[in-house]
Amino acid sequence: MIKKESIESLKNQLDIVDVVSQYIELKKNGANFKACCPFHNEDTPSFVVSPSKQIYHCFGCQVGGDSIKFVMEYEKLSYPEAIEKLANLTNFTLQYEESSAKKTDTKVIDAIKNFYQKQFIANDSIKDYLKQRGVFESFIEKFEIGYASSSSSTIDFLKQNHYNLNDAIELGVISQGDSGLYARFIDRVIFPIYSINGKLVGFGGRTLTNHGAKYVNSPQTQIFNKSKLLYGYHLAKEKIYKTNKLIVCEGYLDVIMLHQAGFSNAVATLGTALTKDHLPLLRRGEPKIILAYDGDKAGLNAAFKASLMLSQSGFDGGVAVFEDGNDPADMVKDNKINELEKKFLEPKPFINFALDYIIDSYDISNPIEKKKALKDSNDYLNTLDILFQEEYKRYIAQKLNIKENMISTSKNVTRKNQQNLMAYDIGELCIIKSILDNPKRLDMVLDLVTPSMFEHHEDEFKALLNDINDVVLNKILLNDKLEVYDDERLNKELLVLLYKFYSNKLLSLSYETNIDFKEKVNLIKKIKDNLYELKQGKLTKFNL
């Protein structure tokens, strides 16, 4: 938290003419300065800046305020974000309630970024890789792409320059292992990640070999939360506000290549699906959202999930569909700029895309499959505003070649849906939906859980194990009454599931007669050990 005295000191140092002129061209007009207003379209300047009063005012649209208000309105920032932005612009050092830690953090992470950039410049093979991908040198510089070589080189750099290693650990640059310190990023192309107001907060790293996961991000820290950040947003926001459009991609290179092609309103999620945590950032300026995900199966599935969430949250926009597994970066490299522009001008609306995805998942020439398609389409429709429900009844009817009166709106089905929801175990379904929402969780869950632990929804969990894109799972995804758990809540619900399973197992063993005595004793001991661990709040691996 910024100290009030520090904010007052910054205000006293600011000159509104200097601040505003960094964003728009000002012309002297007597004792004041004038310009065409940046907040509405006009040909005759009516935007006046007064250096004596340290305020601005537009006589056309009636906006006005001081330096802080101008930056807030122009960059669509919150008050604290605007304060930090102005401090950066004027080289003013803000004082925080924990100022020493904050200052050190910024110093360490900026130094590491510069170190990665120098390593990139010295590595011809990495530069050749990006050139082969079609990235221009000017955009390598614009996005400050770097390279992390060995673990020892990063740690040596920190030690030789006397940086606080604890701060580097806190920021996720290095970690403490059983054998000592090691760098988080090893043999990876580095993509610096910035906050909305242009502050460096972390990194993304892509391996060019088989060194671990393809992409690695900074871990969650006091300044880095990947669920609330979008790569490239700090560079894209001006174009986003100007065009009222925002393009969301899957990868860092997609963003860089789209900016290179002139689509500088492109951003990307940080190796995760679009989540509800991203929605406040997406809403800034109320732009039209265009999803530009890869055209492979995984990309289409991600676009479907995002379309569900965005349409249910009232966003305008749609999906730019890429055929044959293509992605935006490939199209820019192949100089298909006009095709890209057409896709972005005419995206398939979220609701249309979601309904097509649902219906196309079934063979509707088969009456039973057609009935399932109708059910899933209707379930999704009833999560939307009543106006959209009425509008899209006709669309579903045409797709399925049925009469409109076969499609129910929420007024008719709400009570029935509530009764159905009470008929099955909500906790099990929420666990499954939480894994569907973030498939990376499946690896962790597999060590703990078997299908038989799902008393009510064993078949759905089996479907999850066999094919995460199985149409059977769409019903769970579409049910807006089922909660998506965060990691902490998911762990708690898994504890409940496991405790219930092992308790029932222990009870059934006491009545079991067709089992060897020693084996029975051994099983009982294992179960009791597991129950003890669970009571301590520790998730136990399945060992029976």
pLDDT of residue 414: 43
| Structure-derived torsion over alpha carbons of residues 232, 238, 239, 245, reported in degrees to the nearest 10 | 80
Classify residue 146 as exposed, middle or buried by CB count within 10 Å of its CB (0-12, 13-18, 19+): buried
Q: Which CATH class is domain 4-89?
A: alpha beta
233-355 is classed in which CATH architecture? 3-Layer(aba) Sandwich (3.40)
Separation of alpha carbons 183 and 171, rounded Å? 12
pLDDT of residue 97: 74
What would you measure as the largest C-alpha separation in the chain, in angstroms? 101
Separation of alpha carbons 94 and 8, rounded Å? 10
**Mutual orientation of helices 350-360 and 386-400 as an angle, nearest 10°?**
40
pLDDT of residue 284: 81
pLDDT of residue 99: 43
pTM (two decimals): 0.67
Give the pLDDT of the chain (544 residues) as one tens digit per residue: 788 888 988 888 898 998 998 889 898 888 889 999 999 888 899 999 988 788 999 988 888 889 999 998 888 888 888 898 898 888 788 888 754 444 445 689 999 999 999 999 999 999 999 999 999 999 999 999 999 999 999 999 999 999 989 889 989 999 988 888 999 999 999 999 998 878 899 999 999 877 678 889 999 888 888 888 999 999 998 899 889 999 999 999 999 999 999 999 999 999 778 988 898 889 887 899 999 998 888 899 999 999 999 999 889 999 998 887 788 999 999 999 999 999 999 999 999 999 999 999 999 999 999 999 999 999 999 888 888 888 899 999 999 999 988 887 665 444 444 444 443 478 889 999 999 888 888 888 988 999 989 888 888 898 888 877 677 787 787 777 788 888 888 988 898 889 888 888 887 776 677 788 888 888 888 999 888 888 888 888 888 8
Neighbours of 365 (CB within 10 A): 7
pLDDT of residue 211: 67
CATH number of 99-224: 3.90.980.10
Neighbours of 293 (CB within 10 A): 27
Fold match flag (99-224 vs 233-355): no
- The total number of residues written for the chain in this structure: 544
Domain parsing of the chain, residue ranges: 4-89, 99-224, 233-355, 362-422, 439-469+483-535
